[in-house]
Structure 1
Amino acid sequence: MSLTTQPSLLDDVAEDAGPRLGELTEGLVRHELSRGAWVDVRPGWVESSGALFEHLLTAVPWRAERRQMYEREVDVPRLLCFYGEEALLPHPLLARARDALSAHYLPELGEPLRTAGLCLYRDGRDGVAWHGDRLGRSSREDTVVAILSLGAPRPLVLRPRGGGPTALRVPVGHGDLLVMGGSCQRTWEHAVPKTSRPVGPRVSVQLRPRGVR
């Protein structure tokens, strides 16, 4: 796969040491939303994230999907790969991140994170429309969806379910962590808007508990 990438200036520091996790609680900020929903943001949690990003571009078996849209079938505007509970993740740092997040959120979530869904946004023509991860238990229970963002920053935007203006806009990339929790998947919607601006590729790693999609 040939994609033009642009590293973060922060990633240039000690890149030879390879990707690693910073202290999770250092710089972690919670945004309280309505109806029991919240969003945590930890900028730059994955340090030297450029090496991890480049590894995932080539190591992940990315696939294109199509979906039914009204009366026609259309391309999903991003590439995808899903790793179930027993699957070996494509880099050991992702397993360490999953375990660290499971331990941190256990008091609120009551269970570990188990699966990883990966998306590759190749450029500004790729995105994801307004939605909530409401397949499975998340349609009726509070849960946590943790997102690691690697590569070029793209805004993740949130609004209350049912429409209305964007209430929270968080540019995420270059090792940033964003975690949606509480009732967020049921009572709020999130999206990664498409853009006509020149923008490099981004990989999103979504870590979820069992039975949440």
Structure 2
Amino acid sequence: MQSSLFDVEQTGERILLKDAQLDYHPNFYTQIAADQLFDQLVQGIAWRQDAITIAGIQRLQPRLSAWYGDANAEYTYSGLRLTPIIWNRELLTIKQAIEAHSGYRFNSVLLNYYRDQHDSMGWHSDDEPELGRQPVIASLSLGGIREFILKHKFDKQLRYKIPLTHGSLLIMSGNTQSHWQHAIAKEKHPCAARINLTFRQIIPKSP
């Protein structure tokens, strides 16, 4: 039974939400493996802070980010066009582990580095045309726990949050992106740094 507005009903690894398909694996990586990956990514990723366009206004993203993938996996969101950096060893290792576990295939990954409680991600859906009609997004979290907040696009009463733990994997598929938005809000209290990796399958544009 749903006990409050933000509770999530979970049966095994499947999170039951209306118009969504979410599979959550809180211990996809052990703490030791997750610690090692976090340290490797902090040092080994080409982090940058891009300016995006929101409501016609350009502003710096409140986090660091990076885009890696196959050579033809270009991606555009919020007026920002991303050309991928070719996979490094750590990212390929993570990608292959998630693919083997999930049965899905990915050709790109967006990394976001939340340095402290002031960094955030605004409300959005991963529904750009190059992701296809029912995109599968595999979201790996490393570092400090942050709450992943969801709200239904059409049923305004439906809002949920999931605390994404160190080494956890959340797979979003089906109608999740067409029916829900998600965000990472700023925190009122200090929290540890967090890296999030969202693996995607970009549909290359025709020449």
SS in 2 for 1:101: helix
Question: Structure 1 residue 129 and structure 2 residue 122: aligned?
Answer: yes
How do 1:176-187 and structure 2 match up within 5 A? 176-187=168-179
Question: Structure 1 residue 29 and structure 2 residue 13: aligned?
Answer: yes
Unaligned stretches of 5+ residues in structure 2: 1-10, 72-84
Tell me if structure 1 keeps the 8 A contact 2:70–2:87.
no
Structure 2 CA distance for partners of 1:114 and 1:28, relative to 1, 3 Å: farther
The alignment covers a number of residue pairs equal to: 179
Out of 189-198 and 83-92, give the one that drifted further.
83-92
Tell me if structure 1 keeps the 8 A contact 2:125–2:181.
yes
Structure 2 CA distance for partners of 1:166 and 1:95, relative to 1, 3 Å: farther
- For residue 148 of structure 1, report the CA deviation from its aligned partner: 0.6
Query: Percentage identity across aligned positions?
Result: 28
1:138-189, CA deviations, whole angstroms, 9 ceiling, x for partnerless residues? 4x61121001100101011112125735532111131111111111111111
SS in 1 for 2:126: coil
SS in 2 for 1:120: strand
Query: Which of 39, 48, 51 does residue 66 from structure 1 map onto?
Result: 51
SS in 1 for 2:113: strand
Give the corresponding residue for 2:27: 44
SS in 2 for 1:82: strand
Task: Measure, in 2, the Cα distance between the counterparts of 1:161 and 1:189.
Answer: 7
1:49-107, CA deviations, whole angstroms, 9 ceiling, x for partnerless residues? 11110111111010011123345421111111000214543443x3233224334444x
Structure 2 CA distance for partners of 1:52 and 1:103, relative to 1, 3 Å: closer
Give the corresponding residue for 1:55: 40
Unaligned stretches of 5+ residues in structure 1: 1-26
How do 1:63-212 and structure 2 match up within 5 A? 63-70=48-55, 72-86=57-71, 88-92=86-90, 94-106=91-103, 112-138=105-131, 141-162=133-154, 164-165=156-157, 167-211=159-203
